[in-house]
């Protein structure tokens, strides 16, 4: 059975909500029946579900107080500095190329 996290809050009528919940329940029952028919399918599904949970928990944003956040901030600052230096270098190279082109003319 699907866990309910709260009431459905939208403009659907109560009858439509009941119909939707009925459809979802039948599909869930059908999925459980399919999984129950094959140990391999159950194993694959459980493996997939575990990977999905791991990915979901790994993608959470670190808090600003965490060491991971501080490391990300330091990396971002270092990258910004490097970009500034590369822009300066690029400007110098562009000016050098323009002067070479002018000398060729």
CA distance 45 to 68: 32
Read off the pLDDT band of 5 (50, 70, 90).
low
Question: How far is C-alpha 73 from the geometric centre of its chain's CA atoms?
Answer: 20
Average pLDDT over residues 93-98: 87
pTM for the whole structure: 0.38
Residue 1 has pLDDT above 60, yes or no: no
Mean pLDDT for the chain overall: 83
Q: Specify whether the CB–CB gap between 42 and 35 falls below 8 A.
A: yes
Say how far apart CA 28 and CA 20 lie, in whole Å: 12
Q: How far apart are CA 34 and CA 27, in angstroms?
A: 10
Segments making up each domain of the chain, as ranges:
14-60, 62-105
């Amino acid at each position: 059975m699907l866990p309910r996290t709260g009431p459905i809050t939208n403009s659907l009528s109560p009858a439509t909500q009941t119909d939707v919940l009925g459809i979802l329940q039948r599909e869930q029952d059908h999925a459980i029946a399919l999984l129950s028919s094959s140990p391999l399918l159950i194993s694959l599904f459980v493996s997939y579900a575990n990977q999905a949970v791991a990915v979901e928990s790994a993608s959470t944003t670190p808090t600003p107080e965490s060491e991971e956040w501080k490391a990300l901030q330091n990396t971002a600052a270092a990258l910004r500095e490097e970009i500034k230096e590369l822009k300066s270098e690029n400007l110098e190279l562009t000016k050098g190329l323009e002067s070479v082109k002018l000398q060729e003319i």
